[in-house]
Amino acid sequence: MSDAMIPPTAWARKSPRPALPEALRPEPLVQGDVSLADLDNRIRTLSEAKPPRAWYIAITITSLMALAGFAAIAYMLSTGIGTMGNNVPVVWGFLIINFVFWVGIGHAGTLISVILLLFRQRWRNAICRTAEAVTVFAFVCAMVFPAIHVGRPWLPHWLLPYPNERGMWVNFRSPLIWDVCAVVTYFSVSLLFWYLGLIPDFASLRGRVKSRVKRAAFKLLSLGWAGRARQWLHYEKAYLILAGLTTTLALSVHSIVSMDFASSMVPGWHMTIFPPYFVVGAAFSGFAGVVLVFAFVRRIMNLQNYITLRHMDLLNRMVLFLSCVMGYAYLMEGFTAWYSSDNFTRYIFANYVFGDQWWAGCLTIFCNVLLPQLLWVPKFRRSVPVMVLVSLGVTLGMWMERYTIIILSVHRDFVPATWGTYLPTPIDFIILLGSIGMFLTMLLFFLRKMPIIATWEVKPDIAHHHQEHKEAEHA
Amino acid sequence: MRDRVFGVLGLFKSGDALLEAVPRLKDKGFTQLEAYTPYPVHGLDEALGLPPSRVGVLVFIMALVGGLSAFGLEWWTSTVSYPLLTAGKAYNGWPGWIPVVFEATILFGTFTAGLGTLFVFNKLPFFGDPVFGTKATLDIGRDRFALVVLSADGSLDAPAASAALSAVGGEAIEVVPLPDRPKAGIGWWMKVVIGIAAACVVAGFGVAWAVRTMPTAKPWVAMEVQPKLDAQQADSFFANGRGMRRPPPGTVARAYMPILAKDPEQAGKALVDPLPVTARVLDRGQEMFNLHCAVCHDKLGTGKAWLSKRYKAQPANLQSSMMRQATDGALYWVISKGYGTMPGYAADVSQDDRWAIVRYVRALQRSEDAPTRDEVGARSPQPGQRFARSQPHPPSPATPN
């Protein structure tokens, strides 16, 4: 096996790095004097210890939010769509904004876990598990919205191509069925990838957790993983293949979501830049979401030694980079509108920032392009308050971006006689709040009950750290 | 009976130590080795002489199968089973199928990689690995690297293997017995088969139930069932127990203007043909005349249709001079109210259609006694006098009831 072929999940043993001068040496990915066993114990005790009071308070609030959301959904379905702000000409309201928003957040996991794996960015190891969880939970939230938006959520299978008593098939040329296929595929593959990564950790924990229920559950979930050399051989190969295949998915899912818009004629939607523009936006909001989660998790769960400020720094660099790409995309969109010489498209873009809902477009640009420029300052990239501020801003900004695209494009389209104004109702906001509550509830459960760090991926880093430490002492 | 031996196990502190020990043990003649590690140690597969994983081949095949199946399904549904013309595209317009083909390819590929590794290549779930019974099993999961000298044919010299492992740096050496696993008998297999069959039956009934009930299920009917009274519905709100109210006196239904004239003469003075002069009106009039009138008055209006020969009543000859001199309003009154034996047709023929019949009768009269100037080509029509074919709003022939 040549060096280039060695998967990045373990250190290339054969070619030790040449010793760099102190100043050029990268900051270690692990801090403090920790051993492999320490990591195991930390992860185990996290899932065993009684959660702190703050956790109970937080989960009470978030689950109440989720319940309020479900109540609002039930009310909306039983009373009618009219309880929301949707009406002609804006028939895709909050529900689709929220769908696109959560799908976007869901890109974090794949990008961190999969694309950074292929690029051999070892700093992903400590954060990939939780990032994947963010993906899975965000997708659960996202999939609620199309289901309730179709109006009859007890018939979700009608979206799928299956032989049925109606003698009908889906229209495979419609972007909406592409969307269904893309989202379902992405969700199931993310879930598979997540579970595959968890198996060795379940195996490692199964013999040591105290609770008998948990022990049995972990044993069952580990499928009897023993860590044989042959098992690892197949496993790593599959992991790498999965990573490669999932990368194409990560790039395609939001492209296909964007085609729901781009393949229509609506001014402001009908643009070839939409697929890459949506993918970047999704990655952007995903990274911001992960920064937000880790800013709290590493501190509250006392994981600073494993998820160091260097990790946060690198994540913030990604946010900054993607923010610049977003800025470019916005400029390009504006340029396309101007260059199209189409009065309606030009008007739509002016309407984004100067129209009656000018705050939506302005907030989008401020939060997504201007605010993250703070991260050029190295000190800010390592300052938790600043990164929380920026990533909260980006999350809001990305939501506003979808609001701008989905609402402001259709409410002023080609026929001025159909122009209208969209105003959301309290039900819209409660459903949005409910989805946030649902996401946080799932995340909080995950953080207390499951191995939140992929120990089998971080352990080689720790071993390497020790080795370097020893070598340095020896020198 | 002596316990059968799986092998002799020794623990190492790092992956590197394990890797160094492998060739040294092989030198000593112990070639059947197996390693257990907490994370993948690279180079171990080469050192142990493991063949490369074939996961990739299976993934490639299954991804291809996935993509082709999706393409086949799309082709069959779009062109054979349910051809649906959308956006003016050809039924077999394959570029629109690409996204779904792509998704299916990836779906099949990834699930083959994930589940294939677990269930096909690693033969999981399997909870009986011999190493689970040892003291070392917890350490392997955490931070120790185990090397096992296997007793492939049951003839391992355990003490010699222990000594060799110890010599290459192994610690906590122990002999791993082969766990006694009862052989799965016919009874066990029967249970498995019955279990699977039972699961299939339950799942089948479940799916059948879902398919039958869900399409017609109406968990929320608030949009359909509204607090209002339908026509003919009973209700206690009004004294007579009826939901419907009589319209106030003098109400006129649309397109049912009552005729107040007492006789044809009055009507001739009061009523004027309201219809525009178009060919459609004449066509409609012809259609209605042939349907309702021709049976007695004959298709040319002579009053000598076959039905009149069998009855004593003599239908009017519409070509007579009296009929030619009668006003439009008088003809309309007669059609609506009836005359002599002829019943009124107000209930059967709508207001506009009755006027159209009048118009057609006029055309019939003209056709049977055409002046010479009507010969074709003799005179071009005066503007505004003849048929204007491009009238924007022809009358609606059928009026709502």
pLDDT tens figures, B53-87: 899 999 999 999 999 999 999 999 999 999 888 87
The pLDDT of residue B291 is 93
**B270 in the same domain as B142:** no
Select the residue from A110, A183, A233, A470 to test the B interface by mutation, using most B Cβ atoms within 10 A: A233
Size of interface A-B (CB pairs under 8 A): 230
Q: How far is CA A124 from the centre of its chain?
A: 14
A181–B117 CB contact, under 8 Å? no
The reply to whether residue B214 touches residue A256, judged by beta carbons under 8 angstroms, is: no
Q: How far is CA A125 from the centre of its chain?
A: 16
CB contact under 8 A, B78 and A36: no
Q: If 0-12 CB within 10 Å is exposed, 13-18 middle and 19+ buried, where does residue A211 land?
A: exposed
Residue B373 confidence (pLDDT) = 63
B217 and chain A in contact, CB less than 8 A: yes
Going by pLDDT thresholds of 50, 70 and 90, the confidence category of residue B29 is: confident
- Give the pLDDT confidence of B192-203 residue by residue, as tens digits: 999 999 999 999
**Domain final residue pick, B157, B177, B197:** B177
Which are the contacts of A392, defined by CB distance < 8 A and separation ≥ 6?
A: A292
Quick one: B164 and B268 in the same domain? Answer: no
**What ipTM does this complex have?**
0.89
Question: Residue A57, SS3?
Answer: helix
Number of neighbours of residue A189 by Cβ within 10 angstroms: 26
pLDDT of B389 over the 60 cut: no
Same domain as B279, residue B131: no
| Residue B159 confidence (pLDDT) | 84
The residue ranking higher by pLDDT, B400 or B382, is: B382
**Does residue B396 carry a pLDDT above 60?**
no
Tell me the residues of chain A between 53 and 112 that have a Cβ less than 8 Å away from chain B: 77-80
Question: Is pLDDT at B1 greater than 70 in this prediction?
Answer: no
Specify the pLDDT at position B3.
Answer: 62
In a domain, B400, yes or no: no
Q: Are residues B136 and B39 in the same domain?
A: yes
CA separation for the pair B316, B296 (Å, rounded): 9
Radius of gyration of chain A from Cα atoms? 24
Cβ neighbours for B165, distance < 8 A, ≥ 6 positions apart: B8, B9, B10, B21, B25, B147, B149, B173
Q: What is the rounded distance in angstroms from the CA atom of residue B392 to the CA atom of residue B395? A: 10
pLDDT the model gives residue A21 = 66
In chain A, the residue whose alpha carbon lies closest to the alpha carbon of B220 is: A78
Q: What is the DSSP string of A251-316?
A: HHHHHHHHHHHHTS--TTT--TTHHHHHHHHHHHHHHHHHHHHHHHHHHHTT-TTTS-HHHHHHHH
Q: Is the C-alpha dihedral spanning A412, A413, A417, A422 positive or negative?
A: negative
Q: What is the structure's pLDDT at B375? A: 57
Tell me what the mean pLDDT of segment A65-87 comes to: 90
Sheet holding B145-150, edge to edge: B33-36, B145-150, B5-12, B171-177
User: Has residue A8 got a pLDDT over 70?
Assistant: no
Question: What pLDDT is stored for residue A209 in this prediction?
Answer: 84
Please check the confidence at residue A11 and state whether its pLDDT lies above 50.
Answer: no
- Interface list for A 218-247 with B (CB within 8 A): 219-220, 223-238, 241-242, 245-246
Q: Is B87 on the interface with A (CB under 8 A)?
A: yes
B300: CATH: 1.10.760.10
Give domain status of residue B397, yes or no: no
pLDDT in tens, B232-279: 888 888 888 888 888 888 888 887 888 888 888 898 888 888 999 999
The total of structural domains in chain B comes to: 2
Q: How far is CA B383 from CA A31, B49, B272, B283, in A?
A: 100, 104, 22, 21
DSSP assignments along A133-190, one per residue: HHHHHHHHHHHHHHHHHTS-TT-GGGGS----TT-----TTSHHHHHHHHHHHHHHHH
**A 2-61 residues with CB below 8 A of B?**
6-7, 9-14, 35-37, 40
The answer on B165 and B33 residing in a single domain is yes
Q: Answer whether residue B152 shows pLDDT above 50.
A: yes
Domain final residue pick, B177, B204, B235: B177
Q: Examine residue B130 and state whether it is found in any structural domain, yes or no.
A: yes
Is the domain of B171 the same as that of B278? no
pLDDT of residue A2: 42
Residue A475's pLDDT band, with cuts at 50, 70 and 90, is: low
What gap in Å lies between CA B168 and CA B159, rounded to an integer? 15
Helix H or strand E segment including B272? none
How far away is chain B from the Cα of A154, in angstroms, using its nearest Cα? 7
Mean pLDDT, rounded, of chain A: 87
Angstrom distance (rounded) from CA B66 to CA B55: 16
Output the pLDDT for position B149.
87
CA-closest candidate to residue A237, choices A28, A9, A74: A9
Quote the Cα angle for B122-B125-B129, to 5°. 75
Residue B385 has pLDDT above 60, yes or no: no
Contact B53/A234, CB-based, under 8 Å?
yes
Task: Assign B210 a pLDDT band (cuts: 50, 70, 90).
Answer: confident
Alpha-helical regions (H) of B5-54: 15-27, 44-48
Query: Are B159 and B305 in a shared domain?
Result: no
In a mutagenesis test of the A interface, which of B100, B105, B121, B131 is the best target, namely the one with the most A β-carbons within 10 Å?
A: B100
A230/B109 touch (CB, cutoff 8 Å), yes or no? no
Does a structural domain hold residue B187? no
Asked if A185 lies within 8 A of B107 by C-beta distance, the reply is yes
Instruction: Determine the average pLDDT of the residues in B94-98.
Output: 91
- Assign A22 a pLDDT band (cuts: 50, 70, 90): low
Which pLDDT belongs to residue A114? Answer: 86
CA distances from A247 to A315, A359, B110, B190, B321 (A): 19, 35, 11, 44, 93
Q: Using the Cα atoms of residue A320, residue A325, residue A330 and residue A331 in order, give the sign of their dihedral.
A: positive
- Using one digit for the tens of pLDDT, what is the confidence trace for A131-178? 999 999 999 999 999 888 887 787 888 888 888 878 889 989 889 899
Closest CA to A205 of A232, A227, A231: A227
**What confidence score (pLDDT) does residue A14 get?**
47
Query: What pLDDT is recorded for position A24?
Result: 67
The candidate with the shortest Cα–Cα distance to A455, out of B377, B37, B342, B117, is B37
Q: Looking at residue A13, what is its pLDDT? A: 46
Query: In Å, how far is A358's CA from the nearest CA of chain B?
Result: 35
In angstroms, how far is CA A199 from the centroid of its own chain?
Answer: 22
Query: What is the rounded average pLDDT for all residues in chain B?
Result: 84
Contact partners, residue A376, CB within 8 Å, separation at least 6: A320
Higher pLDDT, A405 or B368: A405
Query: Is B308 within a domain?
Result: yes
Instruction: Name chain A contacts of B40, Cβ cutoff 8 Å.
Output: 7, 9-10, 232-233, 235-236, 456
CATH 3.40.50.300 correct for A31-160+169-463: no
Is residue A17 pLDDT above 60, yes or no? Answer: no
- The whole domain housing B316 covers 264-372
- Distance CA(A263)–CA(A401), nearest Å, equals 19
A134/A107 Cα distance (integer angstroms): 9
HSE (side-chain half, CA atoms, 13 Å) at A318: 26
Exposed e or buried b per residue across A314-344, where buried means at least 16 C-beta atoms within 10 angstroms of its C-beta: bbbebbbbbbebbbebbeebeeebeeeeeeb
Contacts with A471 (C-beta within 8 Å, 6 or more apart), sequence order: A19
How far apart are the C-alpha atoms of B365 and A173, rounded to whole Å? Answer: 60
Of B177, B195, B222, the position where a domain reaches its end is B177
- Top residue of B110, B120, B148 to mutate, by most chain A CBs within 10 Å, is B110
- Domain match, B173 and B269 both: no
Give the minimum alpha-carbon distance from B152 to chain A in angstroms, rounded to a whole number: 16
d(CA A129, CA A133): 6
pLDDT reported for residue A415: 87
Return the higher-pLDDT residue of A44 and A33: A44
User: What's the alpha-carbon Rg for chain B, to the nearest Å?
Assistant: 49
Predicted model pTM: 0.77
Q: Is residue B222 part of a domain?
A: no
**Range B46-59 average pLDDT:** 90
Pair A246, A189: CB distance under 8 Å: yes
Domain boundaries, chain A: 31-160+169-463
Backbone φ/ψ region at B213: left (φ over 0), alpha (ψ -120 to 50), beta: alpha
Query: What pLDDT, on a 0 to 100 scale, did the predictor assign at position A97?
Result: 94
In-domain check, residue B199: no
**Quick check: B36 and A226 CB within 8 A?**
yes
Residue type, A259: M
Chain B contact present for A470, CB below 8 A: no
